[in-house]
Structure 1
Amino acid sequence: MMKSDQSITRFQLFFILIQSQIGVGLLSLPNTVQSSAKGDGWISTLLAGLAVQVMLFIYWHLLKRFPKLIYTEITKKILGNYLGKLLNLFIYIYFILVGGLATILLIKIVNLWLLPLTPSWIISLLILTACIYLAISDLRIIARFFVLASSLILLLWLTTCLSWFTPREFQYILPLGSSGLKNMIVGSKNSLLAMLGFEGLLFFFPFIIENKKGVLKTISMANLFITMFYTYFMFLTLIHFTTGQLAQMREPIVNLLRGIAYNVVDRVDLIFLSIWIVPMTTSVIAYLFFACKSLNVDKKNYPKAVLVNGLIVFLITLIPNDDAMINLFNKYVYYLSYLVVFLIPILLLILSLLLKKHEMSESV
């Protein structure tokens, strides 16, 4: 019987996946996507959401064959103990690197827009202290916090609604499809990196206490929400800035809100970022959790593992990280994500079918 402090509902799973995916990547998404997709960047985001949905469907078929096992236990079940542990170490390194990259980007945002005079290592220490404190908690507590943090999404959306009162030009996205299908697909590849976090399903699935038949619908709804959320922000920036302007902006969404001012409300961009820090932080918490689960540590050693992982991420943030270094780091994480998030689960599903390995359950 699964302990109550290590179980979640499908309702909580919906918000966990949302918070795991929403992160700092959204702020710079229009800048990276427009380089190839131009005014069709919002279509690229929809294509990326479709690709994520395909992967979630593959995850579902893999997980329902092993309903009581997390991802790194499935690898050992299919590949054997030795190869499984070796692959799990690779997966662990990937999650640590993604957590480090997410933290570095978060520090850059805070340093650039909110606290320009504060040393980056202090910001890193404050962020990771909060993340470690929450990651050490039981899964149910983490889930409740993610559900609570999701309420801020509505506030973020209301904040961006103020931009609709500023000058905009829909001709920037016309004619539709002018960039060509190839460029839109290239743009969707850039969008996928910003949508990472859905792989958390591979670790959360065994902890769902309800009948798992409705999980596919839940994760599909979460992906639909994220896809529409990202597409909305992408569309919003595309109708306010030309592609040339977007190419010169590091965080176009923040730049869009920076120009909004009222008699009562000024510097809407700072209000937006102050709220956005929470979703950016939850993604770091999620990756600390994934990294610990990759090691298959028991409950007694779990807090120590979180502390060690948090220390490793902190040390990563201390590495000199100018724009060239961050771009190189981002490039390697980008390629690793295709292996861990896409290729490996597909191969595991194929092998489980060929070797007829499964652990079926009547509740799936």
Structure 2
Amino acid sequence: MKYAFNQISLYQYILIIFETQVGIGVLSLPRDLAKTGGSDGWISIVLGWILSILVSLVVIQVMNKNPESTIFELLTQYFGKWVGKGLSVFWILYAAYAASVVMFSTVYLVKLWIVPGMREVILMLLFIIPIYIITKHGIRVIGLFAEFVLLISLWMPFLLLYALKDTHWLFLLPIGKDGLYPILSTVKSTILSFLGFEMAFILYPFLKDKKSASKGIVIANSLSMMIFVMVTVISFVRFSPDEINDYVYPTLNLLKLIQLPFLERLEIIFLCVYLFTLFMTIIPYLYAAVLGASQLFGKQDHRTMLRVVMCLWFILPFFFLPSGSQINDMGKSWGMAGTYFAYVLPIILWIYGWLFHPARKEQKQ
């Protein structure tokens, strides 16, 4: 039990995966689905959910054979020192890139919707401070932060339900009007939104109740699916099929339509609180990257690597500041990388482990 000092409960395990998945996808997913799937795009979410659950269970099966190892230690055990470390470098870069994409997206969102006059460097510094404080304390504090984020976010789904006023449910009909192909082709758009379940590769060794890992990851994926379907369906019935394509973040535009007698600019308040959920997408990926880099160099303390990443994030806006279209392209490339690291790699490891593990046990005997 080498991670016994830093264990997380099943509840925290579920919340970390769920909040990592929800992140930025809730804000932009309806538009992405409407582009290719039209009003049937919500069906693709259900198909993406089924796919993510199947691959998630494969991840758990892989980790069941190596309960005390993270993905980085596992790769070395399976493929040897040099190949394993080479694959670990790619996984670390993937996690660091995912955290960076969400970080830049968060800075862009806040500047666009809340403080258009503020410099990006200042925003980056303001976000780096809390992210560093939480990440440096390890997975146990990240689990506690995930519980806090849930508590302050419970009112958000009910607020979106208020947007159902003056909706047109006929926008969803007829279901399947364009056939099966647009629905299946739109599943690619849901891959980015369901990314986050691969965090089980990192979380599993820290999980106290490992027997419930499969149940926990199914619950996390299912919660994400329900939120995605709710937000997408509300957007589809509130905006016309053509109108929704005009909005980059339809969820925030939904909130602009809600009129309360005692409150204006509801979307700003929503986004300010939602920042914590965005942090819960950044932090697990960031922790995975710095933990992997530390293990790669044989270091026990991940904080040194964390400080290096924080410095790079602060310096980067002085040299590279992505525009909205560039952030969108970065998100697509993250989704493409995610298909390999989150969907393809677990299957390869499962097949390899199924062939390799019995042979290794025989050699030990």
TM-score normalised by length of structure 2: 0.93
Q: CA deviation at 1:129?
A: 1.7
Residue 338 of structure 1: how far off its partner (Å):
1.3
- 2:25 maps to 25
CA shift in 2, pair 1:310/1:197, >3 Å: farther
Letter in 1 for 2:181: K
Aligned partners of 2:358, 2:149: CA distance in 1, in Å? 39
Distance in 2 between the 1:344 and 1:316 partners? 30
1:158-197 equivalences in 2 (<5 Å): 158-164=158-164, 166-197=165-196
The letter of the residue matching 2:354 is L
Change (3 A) 1:79 1:122: same
User: 2:84: which partner in 1?
Assistant: 84
Are residue 276 (structure 1) and residue 277 (structure 2) matched? no
Structure 2 distance, partners of 1:90, 1:216, is: 26
Shift of 1:316: 4.6
Given that 1:8 and 1:207 are in contact with CA atoms closer than 8 Å, whether structure 2 keeps it comes out as yes
User: 5+ residue gaps in structure 2?
Assistant: none
Which residues in structure 2 correspond to 1:55-204 (within 5 Å)?
A: 55-164=55-164, 166-204=165-203
Please give the per-residue CA displacement for 1:25-66, whole angstroms capped at 9, x wherever unaligned: 220111111111110121111111111101111101111111
Residues matched between the structures, number = 358
Could you tell me which runs of 5 or more consecutive residues in structure 1 were left unpaired when the two chains were aligned: none
Contact 2:21–2:196 at 8 Å: present in 1 too? Answer: yes
Contact 1:352 1:358 in 2 (8 A): no
Shift of 1:74: 0.8
Amino acid at match of 2:289: A
Asked if residue 256 in structure 1 is aligned to residue 257 in structure 2, the reply is: no
Cross-structure match for 1:350: 351
Q: Secondary structure at the match of 2:217?
A: helix
Q: 1:50 corresponds to which letter in structure 2?
A: I
Q: Give, in angstroms, the shift of residue 138 of structure 1.
A: 2.9
CA distance in 1, matches of 2:190, 2:128: 26
Instruction: Give the distance between the partners of 1:34 and 1:305, measured in 2 at CA.
Output: 40
Of the structure 1 ranges 15-24 and 320-329, higher mean CA displacement relative to structure 2 is found in: 320-329
Contact 1:288-1:310 at 8 Å conserved across structures: no
- 1:89 Cα deviation from its structure 2 partner: 0.5
Check the 8 A contact 1:100/1:317 in 2, yes or no: no
The answer on whether the counterparts of 2:132 and 2:310 sit within 8 Å (CA) in structure 1 is yes
Q: Is the 8 A contact 1:25 1:194 kept in 2?
A: yes
2:13 maps to 13
Deviation at 1:141, TM superposition (A): 1.5
Query: Percent of aligned pairs with the same residue?
Result: 23
Equivalent-residue separation in structure 2 for 1:209 and 1:265 (angstroms): 44
What is the distance in 2 between the residues matched to 1:300 and 1:198? 25
Q: SS where residue 356 of structure 1 aligns?
A: helix
Please tell me whether the aligned partners of residues 41 and 187 of structure 1 are also in contact (alpha carbons under 8 angstroms). yes
In 1, the alpha carbon distance for the partners of 2:299 and 2:19 equals: 24
CA RMSD of aligned residues (A): 1.8
Shift of 1:299: 6.6
Scaled by the length of structure 1, the TM-score of the pair is 0.93
Structure 1 residue 95: deviation in Å?
Answer: 1.0
Q: CA offset at residue 130 of structure 1? A: 1.2
Specify whether residues 163 and 320 from structure 1 end up closer, same or farther in structure 2 by C-alpha distance, changes over 3 A only.
same
The code of the aligned residue for 1:311 comes to: C
Query: Separation in 2 of the partners of 1:2 and 1:205?
Result: 13
The 3 A distance-change label for structure 1 pair 185 and 358 is farther
Q: Report the alpha carbon displacement of residue 4 of structure 1 after superposing the two structures with TM.
A: 4.6
